[in-house]
Chains A and B, each alone.
Chain A
Amino acid sequence: MSSHREAPEISKDPVADNTDVYAFVSPDAPSTVTLISNYIPFENPTGAPSFYEFGEDVLYSIYIDNNGDARPDITYNFRFTSQTTNPDTFLYATGPILSLTDPSWNRRQTYSVTRIAGNPSTARVLGTNLPCPPCNVGPRSTPNYSALADAAMVTLATGEKVFAGQRRDPFVADVGAFFDLGDIRPAQPFHLIQTGIPAADESRPSVDALSKMNVHSIVIQVPIARLTKDGSVPTDPMSATSVLGIWAAASRQKARILNSPGNVSSGPWVQVSRLGNPLFNEAVVPVARKDEWNAADPVNDVNFLPYAQHPEVAKSLPVLYPVLFPNLAGITGTRDDLVAMFLTGFPSGFFAGFQNYTGKTYADMLRLNVAIPPSANPDPLGVVAGDVAGFPNGRRLADDSNTVETRAVAGLTYPLVNPTYTVDPAVFVAGSGLVPGPDRYLSSFPYVGLPLDGFDNPPVTQ
């Protein structure tokens, strides 16, 4: 969920499966933007002996559109290489790993960063042989994990700060409930299908399904002036120059020959995973077209427009909860509020002091207005709660985008385009309403929390 295992084909290729993308003005470095792209869904911390790593044969990309045409103007590419230090042991660590050069660390990765500004001929390698930290194995193998992770944060000569490696999955959602026929646990007594469980037991708080999972994060912090069309640091939120479109992807070469030792790839890169807004491909695009969507470029997302205009979830909720969403059931027009949220951004005039409109090209991208400074008191519900520094103005790690989108689809934002519409009160029980624990995020780079270790997770007592 968000985009964990969201499509049939990519669900079989976890190292290329983009789970979430985040983009925000860095709270502790507001002249920069932090871009985060996560991969490998449902990463169990105890996944030994071959702990998780990035794919050597995968091209990981983060794209930035700075002129509203839904095509990449700036691209950051990441490629990974693996090394085995000691071929004669089955162990990931043959002793405590005390540094990134420790010979006890048997299976390590390094990576390169390449920046393309427009034409591919402008590609410039910004860094090579950059270190990833090891996975967080446990107190004997990785006794001072935070020091290892800190050592893997690199500032490039061109000003970008980068990190790539295992972190704790920041996404918060009640995955199991949502995909059990749209179950919203607090509203279970009103669900069409009753299980026989007493209402008092059934109407429970949501479950934070990813709270004990890790993920592999690529984090890059970029000076804003390196991303805008004119090289400026915008200060006027109403200016089109202030809005960046952002998405991420993973690609594989077209042909792969399985071979021992070492597979062989050939041909051009083919995109196998893509992600802009959370949940768009997951819960808006139908299953038969999800992998097609993954392979497509945002500039062609008009092909998926009807799914945002008439989303299946909006049609399902009144069926699944017959008494809770009578007004939602009565909507027959196109959901232009959702089209704005996912595919165009909101023009000025909808929210005070905010716009993230990129023009008429329908394209699923995060849209970040970089002229809006970080919020001193972030609200996880972001713009709809009056915090215009949060989702769908880009996406911060702690934004509860799941709840925002679920409520929006349930009708919360429909009055923006149809002022006569009355929102169903049940909208406010939709979404997870989960409050993540204090260790989920960090206040400084790379902002994604430290990964859980494999020794303690799952915990001894369950």
Chain B
Amino acid sequence: MTTFSRRSLLKAAGVATGTAMISVSPAAAAIEPGAMETTPSGPLPSESIVAVIRNADRGEVTILSGRTEKTYTDKALVKRLLKAAALNHKHGQGVA
């Protein structure tokens, strides 16, 4: 019979030796926690980038940047933005 202690588990994961890898692999992205609400660290930049979801089902997102406007298909980005937007509404709708 094999038994696992907490210490052996951490060791196996590499945490105890400080060698845990932080990488951005597709697999890692899939388990990222997504948007986390935070306090803004400063004012809006004067040249803000604005993303507008044009068609959620098709993953279409329009990016306004500087004096340009282009539309992309990026289902992952749209999905993440929608998730973040959902958090906006978690505590109720804005007041008109």
Residues of A with Cβ closer than 8 Å to B? 253-255, 257, 259, 261-262, 264, 266-269
B50 contacts A257, CB within 8 Å? yes
Which chain B residues border A262 with CB–CB below 8 Å? 46
From B4-12, B20-28, B59-67, B74-82, the one touching the partner chain is: B59-67
Which chain A residues border B64 with CB–CB below 8 Å? 254-255, 266-268
A266 contacts B50, CB within 8 Å? yes
Cα of A266 to Cα of B68 in the assembled complex, Å:
8
A-B contact pairs, 5 of them (CB 8 A): A255-B64, A257-B44, A264-B46, A266-B65, A268-B68
Partner of B69, one of A254, A257, A259, A261: A254
Min Cβ gap B61→A in Å is 14
Q: How large is the interface on B (under 10, 10 to 19, 20 to 34, 35 or more residues)?
A: 10 to 19
Kindly report which residue of chain B lies nearest to residue A260, judged by CB atoms.
Answer: B43
Cα of A408 to Cα of B67 in the assembled complex, Å:
42
Interface SS majority for chain B: loop
B67 contacts A259, CB within 8 Å? no
Cα of A93 to Cα of B44 in the assembled complex, Å:
31
The digit string for B45-67, where 1 denotes a CB below 8 A from any CB of A, is 11111101000000000001111
A253 contacts B67, CB within 8 Å? yes
Cα of A267 to Cα of B62 in the assembled complex, Å:
10
A266 contacts B66, CB within 8 Å? yes
Min Cβ gap B96→A in Å is 16
Cα of A267 to Cα of B68 in the assembled complex, Å:
5
Which chain A residues border B66 with CB–CB below 8 Å? 266
Min Cβ gap A64→B in Å is 22
Min Cβ gap B82→A in Å is 19
Min Cβ gap A177→B in Å is 40
Which chain B residues border A253 with CB–CB below 8 Å? 67
Which chain A residues border B52 with CB–CB below 8 Å? 255
Interface SS majority for chain A: strand
Cα of A452 to Cα of B69 in the assembled complex, Å:
43
B48 contacts A257, CB within 8 Å? yes
Partner of B44, one of A254, A264, A267, A269: A264
Min Cβ gap B75→A in Å is 23
Which chain B residues border A254 with CB–CB below 8 Å? 64, 69
Cα of A351 to Cα of B68 in the assembled complex, Å:
47
Which chain B residues border A261 with CB–CB below 8 Å? 43
Min Cβ gap A342→B in Å is 32
Which chain A residues border B46 with CB–CB below 8 Å? 262, 264
4 cross-chain pairs, A with B, having the tightest CB-CB distances, nearest first: A267-B64, A255-B50, A266-B64, A264-B48
Cα of A152 to Cα of B65 in the assembled complex, Å:
35
Partner of B49, one of A259, A266, A268: A266
Min Cβ gap B47→A in Å is 7
Kindly report which residue of chain B lies nearest to residue A262, judged by CB atoms.
Answer: B46
Q: A254-B69, A255-B64 are in contact. Are A267 and B50 (CB under 8 A)?
A: yes
Kindly report which residue of chain B lies nearest to residue A267, judged by CB atoms.
Answer: B64
A268 contacts B50, CB within 8 Å? no
Kindly report which residue of chain A lies nearest to residue B49, judged by CB atoms.
Answer: A266
Cα of A255 to Cα of B67 in the assembled complex, Å:
10
Kindly report which residue of chain A lies nearest to residue B65, judged by CB atoms.
Answer: A266
Cα of A254 to Cα of B48 in the assembled complex, Å:
12
Which chain B residues border A255 with CB–CB below 8 Å? 48, 50, 52, 64
12 further A-B pairs in the complex, CB-CB below 8 A; given A259-B43, A266-B49: A255-B52, A255-B64, A257-B44, A257-B50, A259-B44, A261-B43, A264-B47, A266-B47, A266-B64, A266-B65, A267-B67, A267-B68
Min Cβ gap A158→B in Å is 24
